[in-house]
Amino acid sequence: MMTGGCLCGAVRFRVDAELRDPIACHCKQCRQQSGHFFSAVPAPKAAVQFERDEGLRWYRHTEIAERGFCWMCGSTLFWRGDEGPDVMVAMGALDETGDMRLSGHYWVDFMGDYYDIDDGLPQHEGMET
């Protein structure tokens, strides 16, 4: 089990599932929302349980997904597709990350021109590997 939340504590959650390694998304929307690329770990939607959610809001920017954030402190917390079993949990929202390590970079064809990716991890255009 892992726990996490926002900066001010108005959102607290736990994930009751074993998590895979996180990814980095370099798409324009993730960069705009997070301020850089978005590093997140997939978790089964049913495994995310809220202990506090009074600050949680969902923002729909596309027809296929919503982004969860705290409206009180502005913390970026989740990306949730309408389809599929998982919600992407922001790595920065987790209290501890254990031994998880970044597994790859996605949507690199949309990455910012102000940085390079030189960590040797796989790079993908889009989400498909």
Chain segment 100-129, per-residue pLDDT in tens: 999 999 999 999 999 999 999 999 998 765
Domain assignment of residue 128, yes or no: no
Model pLDDT, residue 80:
95
pLDDT (tens digit, 9 = 90+) per residue, 56-111? 999 998 899 999 999 999 999 999 999 999 999 999 999 999 999 999 999 999 99
DSSP character at residue 77:
E
Note whether residue 74 is domain-resident. Answer: yes
**pTM (predicted TM-score):** 0.92
The verdict on residue 102 lying in a domain is yes
DSSP structural state of residue 36: S
Domain CATH code at residue 39? 2.170.150.70
Q: What pLDDT, on a 0 to 100 scale, did the predictor assign at position 61?
A: 86
Question: Residue 6's domain spans which residues?
Answer: 2-110
Task: Decide if 85 is inside a domain.
Answer: yes
How far, in Å, CA of 84 to CA of 94, rounded?
22
**124 assigned to some structural domain:** no
Instruction: Give me the number of domains the chain comprises.
Output: 1
Q: Which amino acid is at 13?
A: F
